[in-house]
Amino acid sequence: MTLTLPSRPLQSRLAAAPQAVSAKAAAGEQRLRLQAERDGQERRAREAAAAGDVETCARAILAALDCERRLQGSGPQVMQVIKPRS
């Protein structure tokens, strides 16, 4: 029976774990911030539309759409995992 050792020492594997967790937490916080910003822009657009301020409404809609676009790009990029690199 042979014994194989891990490729990296235990300390280095444990040291890398908090960085991965903090990166996930940061991504989650960014998503929450973008969702809150999107909701605020949508609320602002509705209020401006009700008041008849077309320009402010249009700017708020564009800002909300920008937040939505950034939200879609903040998730896991599946195609980068599936597509082999050339």
- Residue 66 has what pLDDT? 93
DSSP 86: -
Q: Give the whole-angstrom CA distance, residue 27 versus residue 33.
A: 10
For residue 77, is it within any domain?
Answer: yes
pTM score, whole prediction:
0.60
Tell me which residue range forms the domain holding 29.
Answer: 21-82
For residue 40, is it within any domain?
Answer: yes
Q: What is the number of structural domains in the chain?
A: 1
**What tokens does 2 get?**
């042979």
For residue 5, is it within any domain?
Answer: no
Q: Give the whole-angstrom CA distance, residue 25 versus residue 43.
A: 27
65 vs 23, higher pLDDT: 65
Contact 34, 71 (CB under 8 A): yes
- Residue 43 has what pLDDT? 96
CA distances from 31 to 9, 15, 53, 74, 79 (A): 34, 26, 29, 7, 20
Sequence length of the chain is 86
What tens digit of pLDDT does each residue of 24-66 get? 777 788 889 999 999 999 999 999 999 999 999 999 999 999 9
For residue 72, is it within any domain?
Answer: yes
